[in-house]
Amino acid sequence: MEPAPLSSLQEEDVEEREPAGEDSAFSAAAVPPRPATHQSQHKYAPLDWSAYFDEERRVAIPGTDDVFNVYTAGSEGPVVFCLHGGGYSGYVCAAVYLGTFDMFGQSDCVNANGSGLAEMLSMASRIKDKARVVAMDLRGHGKSTTSDDLDLSIETLTNDVIAVIRTMYGDSPPAIILVGHSMGGSVAVHVAARKEIRNLHGLVVVDVVEGTAMASLVHMQKILANRVQHFPSIEKAIEWSVKGGPLRNIESARVSIPSTLKYNESQGCYSYRTGLEETEKYWKGWYEGLSDKFLSCPVQKILLLAGTDRLDRALTIGQMQGKFQMIVVRHTGHAIQEDVPEEFASHILNFISRNKIGPNGIEIPGLIKKWGR
């Protein structure tokens, strides 16, 4: 069904649905209740990135015209390097940064309406004792600019990430955990499989499985066409994203949605920054062979899924052999890191703690071992 246009979206509370059962994350039954809405447009006003990240950097790749926008938060611990999905931006990790504070007993700081922001910001220093968050805008997304923004081939995206990490950290990077959502999950797997990043210690893939992703590609053009394509204001785009779009967390939408838009001067409205419809020839390459490549990555691995998903034969055998950990995050949509940032962040920090990953590598009392050096 085509999403309702904004003009038909009524300012009223939406009745809650029953919690998802054992359905696929892509089924209607797995979609969580949408938040209640109110008349005030202030509720959908954009939030500035500076409330979440410490710094915005422009990383120019030597010998090219490519400049990637990167956001950083924290100054201690290993680097959690985040790669967003197609059509998103690096801002999707903003809620993850704040969500980490829930690990310190502040689970009620932010509710579905985004209240309690000041309380969470007052504890900003706590995450810096655990990990650093680095999030980049991939090619053709956010504020990054390249010589060919429509070249979203898996080879080019992989090369971009490796180039950004090398430009930022040189030959002696801190310990790195790659975290990738959807398309970004595939990019993270390819980066890890290349074994070119020194001091890489972990791989977290979020809500992407080869079989399900490949099967969904035949429907992708229709899904993209059925989105609301133009918005009279950024506030309306944020409103649609939580009423008829992919998100459930209003605060997260207020941070992440503006960077996915561009202003169309001729039409006097906002439209999507990334022309995913024009990149169809690359879609198959994002996911083909992903399962075997994921299993081959020589680092600790987690697969986070929004609801139960069908694992293919390779992943099923790999899980039984203990080659990776699978975690099912209930009652969330596809954008797990935005919908339930507290739970998502807890999984990341538990991963770091369980594997004893310090700022420079694996840390054991009385012994520091740096893998990949």
Q: Which residues does 91 contact at the CB level (< 8 Å), separation at least 6?
A: 49, 71, 135, 142, 255, 256, 258, 259
269 part of a folded domain? no
Report how many domains make up the chain: 1
pLDDT over 50 (residue 323): yes
Q: Which domain holds residue 281?
A: 52-98+123-223+276-361
The whole model's pTM is what?
A: 0.81
The answer to whether residues 41 and 9 touch, using CB atoms and an 8 Å cutoff, is no
Look at 5-14, 76-85, 288-297 and tell me which has the smallest mean pLDDT: 5-14
Confidence of residue 289 (pLDDT cuts 50, 70, 90): very high
> How many residues are given for the chain?
373
38 part of a folded domain? no
15 part of a folded domain? no
Q: Where are the beta strands (DSSP E) in the chain?
A: 55-60, 67-73, 79-83, 132-136, 176-181, 200-206, 261-264, 269-272, 300-306, 325-329, 362-364, 367-369
Q: What is the DSSP letter of 103?
A: G
CATH number at residue 304: 3.40.50.1820
370 part of a folded domain? no
The answer to whether residues 82 and 127 touch, using CB atoms and an 8 Å cutoff, is no
Average pLDDT, whole number, for the chain? 80
Hey, which residues are catalytic here? Answer: 182, 207, 334
Calculated CA dihedral for residues 133, 136, 137, 138, nearest 10 degrees: -130
Confidence of residue 331 (pLDDT cuts 50, 70, 90): confident
46 part of a folded domain? no
Give the angle subtended at the CA of 93 by the CAs of 228 and 263, to the nearest 5°. Answer: 35
Q: What is the DSSP letter of 36?
A: P
14 part of a folded domain? no
Collapse the DSSP code of 6 into the 3-class scheme (helix H, G, I; strand E, B; otherwise coil) and give the result: helix
Tokens of 349: 């920090």
- 52-64 burial, b for 16+ CB within 10 Å, e for fewer? bbeeeeebebeee
pLDDT over 60 (residue 5): no
The string of pLDDT tens digits covering residues 13-23 is: 333 333 443 44
Q: Please report, for residues 154, 219, 304, the alpha-carbon distance to residue 215 in angstroms, rounded to integers and kept in the order given.
A: 18, 8, 19
pLDDT over 60 (residue 112): no
Q: Which residues does 125 contact at the CB level (< 8 Å), separation at least 6?
A: none
pLDDT of residue 13: 39
pLDDT over 60 (residue 113): no
260 part of a folded domain? no
Q: Please, is 20 exposed, middle or buried when counting C-beta atoms within 10 Å of its C-beta (0-12, 13-18, 19+)?
A: buried
How large is the average pLDDT for residues 272-277? 95
DSSP states along 208-263 = --HHHHHHHGGGHHHHHHTS---BSSHHHHHHHHHHTSS---HHHHHHHSGGGEEE
- The more confident residue out of 247 and 263 is 263
Tokens of 323: 């080659």
Confidence of residue 101 (pLDDT cuts 50, 70, 90): very low
- The more confident residue out of 350 and 310 is 350
Confidence of residue 95 (pLDDT cuts 50, 70, 90): low
